[in-house]
A = this chain, B = another copy of it.
């Protein structure tokens, strides 16, 4: 099994992730945990093999409970502020794997209220449209309709609100401020929102009237929110603290930062035409050298190459193929343009299939939706 180091933000990217783990006080996913997971799943998802999901909080405890016959549920979410891009899909694809291998229920919260409250320019109508579009992408990933419950805050508020006020009663403005960085100029809807986000950690336990362990797959930057609110409140309400499994970010197609829906050129959207997606990859930031001569001599750097990172983190499941591409690129045999060609073809194949499933998702939409 090849071990890769993931560096979405150039070379010092690695240091940033280590800093996050240190600052937040999370734990790395080590070989022992990977072996334990493999015992249940039969195979390790490539995102685990390649350390895309690399950090956690209480993952061992989740496996303990599971091994004692106690099922956990998965909780993830989406803020519908725009169209879905491939960076959003990364943790969702992994979540689908966890659902399938552990038979876990998934509660998928669409925080339409948060995005409306956060963005001065977004109307409720726009957010409602993005909500629908985003849910199509979720359904397209193959979640089990019997075990997947997608809900938007405004559609499911009658159920969520009583839980949220139970939580809110324990959260002072000071606490919310220190965790979320609120200011005196923050609006009072945003200030209340952390209670709604935490509510889903306890929702299945309330609906099913028993304490159910919760595992949250999400990018690592979310950790602090769960630690500061939901994990802190859980024992006060008599529930388990939610566990977490953390991913790195799919890097931007341009130099620096992560993909962002607000800068279209940094991301490939699930609804992009294939030619547009291809063009974005061809224009992406590379780890190639300035001249052909230098590239042949010194080789390329896959660690900072967007096209390579797409293959590694999201698209190329075959470790052997990926390893060959990496070696060829490092050696200088494979040029940036050729690497981009490979990635573009893979991405187009992925997108075409995703867009086909996305069309079908419209038909089975209601099977996934939880409403009051």
- Interface, chain A (partner B; CB < 8 A): 113, 116-117, 120, 124, 154-155, 157-158, 161-162, 164-166, 168-174, 176-177, 182-192, 194-195, 372
Contacts and interface: CB of A to CB of B under 8 A. Distances in A.
Contacts of A164: 189
Given A113-B161, A162-B124, A184-B174, A169 B154 contact: no
A117, A155, A157, A186 — most chain B CB neighbours (10 Å): A157
A131 to B, nearest CB: 13
A185 B165 contact: no
A116 B166 CA distance: 9
Contacts of A157: 157-158, 161
B189 A182 contact: no
Contacts of A176: 188
Contacts of A186: 172-173
A167 to B, nearest CB: 8
Assembly of this chain: how many copies? 2
Nearest to A164: B189
B184 A188 contact: no
A43 B244 CA distance: 68
A165 B183 contact: no
A166 B125 CA distance: 12
A286 to B, nearest CB: 42
Nearest to A158: B158
Given A117-B168, A157-B161, A189 B187 contact: no
Contacts of A154: 158, 161-162, 165
A284 to B, nearest CB: 37
A183 B189 contact: no
A316 B245 CA distance: 69
Given A113-B165, A117-B165, A168-B117, A173 B158 contact: no
B172 A187 contact: yes
A187 B185 CA distance: 17
Given A124-B166, A154-B162, A171 B192 contact: no
A173 B188 contact: yes
A189 B177 contact: no
B189 A184 contact: no
Contacts of A162: 124, 154
Given A173-B184, A173-B185, 15 more contacts: A124-B162, A154-B162, A164-B189, A170-B187, A171-B187, A173-B173, A173-B182, A173-B186, A173-B188, A174-B184, A176-B188, A188-B192, A189-B195, A191-B192, A372-B372
Contact of A168 (B124, B169, B170, B189): B189
Contact of A173 (B166, B171, B191, B195): B191
A161, A173, A174, A177 — most chain B CB neighbours (10 Å): A173
Nearest to A176: B188
Contacts of A124: 162, 165-166
Contacts of A189: 164-165, 168-169, 171, 192, 195
A188 B168 CA distance: 5
A116, A154, A172, A189 — most chain B CB neighbours (10 Å): A189
9 contacts: A113-B161, A124-B165, A124-B166, A158-B158, A170-B187, A173-B186, A177-B184, A188-B195, A189-B195
Contacts of A158: 154-155, 157-158, 372
A176 B182 CA distance: 14
Nearest to A180: B188
